[in-house]
Structure 1
Amino acid sequence: MIKWFAAILGYYLFRFPGAILGFLVGSFIDNLRGDGRAKTVFSDMTRQSVSPADFELNLLSLCSIVIKADGQVSQREMDYVRQYFVGTYGKDKANAIFRTFNEINKKHEISAQRICTFLNQRTRYEVRLQLLHFLFGIAQADGSVSKPEVVKIREIAGYLRVSLRDFESIMAMFIKSADNAYKILEIEKSASNDEVKKAYRTMAKKYHPDRVNTENEAIKKGAEEKFKEVQLAYETIQKERGIS
């Protein structure tokens, strides 16, 4: 495909920014040439799903942004990303991917807003929620989530059009506080027992792994972990209040 040739040429000439520009221009040309469908790269995006290769490129970029958020590159966070790619793609392909990741991480400024705009047009809301879960996992890999990392992930959440309550619910799984269980269920501590039950049903439905339609293993794993956290939060409140 032209888009991949253009991306490789762009990377050769201008490194990572050139690869992104080349990919987008190539995609535009591919779509104009078409496969019997006369549409531009911008048409019908809300019904298109992002390909594994496209998702991989943008996921790497967001990983890099989070890792650099606190001004230092943590080896544990780098290892967290490496282990994910080795587990997903195998050692050989993961090593090739990680070489690209190192180029991104060391040399280039990446636009989180541009990446998130791309993902917004091609992924479901549920997938973007699990993407935030994965980014928090990276931030926590060195033992704690720093304030700059929270600020950066909050910024990314805004670009991904994730609601504040959903963001705080996910953050509560990584940064513990006295009312974490309530934050995860997106309710106040003063909520009635009936409101707690209703919130649990709503959240269990929202974060059920079956709602995450993706081939990406990190996102699938995030969905499973978040679903378990929702169940645990409800069980914690049940025990605290004696709800049957």
Structure 2
Amino acid sequence: MTETPEASAPQPALPPFQVAIIPVTPLEQNCTLVWCTKTMRGAFIDAGGDLAKLRRAVEKTGVTIEKLLVTHGHIDHCGSTGIFARELGVPIEGPEEADRYWIAKLDEDGRRWGIDGEVFEPTRWLHDGDKVTVGEVELDVIHCPGHTPGHVVFHHAPTRIAIVGDVLFQGSIGRTDFPLGNHQDLIDSITQKLWPLGNDVTFVPGHGPISTFGKERQTNSYVSDYMLS
């Protein structure tokens, strides 16, 4: 009598959109590798430096990089973006054009901070309400000025994930004392553009650990509902 082998347990389906965080530069900036599970095509968001690290991430995941995305023009977030785009032969999308001021200073700021910096011209400047694609995944572009005037956030609504750059952090918010920063604009960006996306949205900040909008609305001493009431 032949025994029937037990059926193997079904494996959970992978989410359509995946994210890996690779801290780069001496400022420990969260460069984010994002990709479409179906096509295995992806993008780096904020390829600020340490390109050898980013190449290793591509090898490990098997993702084909089809573009580089930028949240804003500060050196730790995009200093090496132009260099990497030329190496990979891919376009650059973002930030919003008001950050041209910062991108024009990348050479100078690179020398100041000890980070490889090269001025570049994005293939596509982004605007509030635009869409960007990664494989078959579509991300919403949300213009969130304050930390810089041209800062954008990338949001994938189906998986409740946002990559927010230096707009919001776990327990803190972006600095606004740099040139062209504006504190009230930043508060408005967070409360009027990010909070409406939902408390359950998990966000990847430009530095430090991930969090959710709901947690920050409860506990963040800068933008909690209690502090702003």
Give the TM-score taking structure 2 as reference length: 0.31
Write 1 or 2 for the structure with the bigger share of strand. Answer: 2
Larger RCO (alpha carbons 8 Å, 6+ apart) = 1
Greater radius of gyration (CA): 1
Write 1 or 2 for the structure with the bigger share of helix. Answer: 1
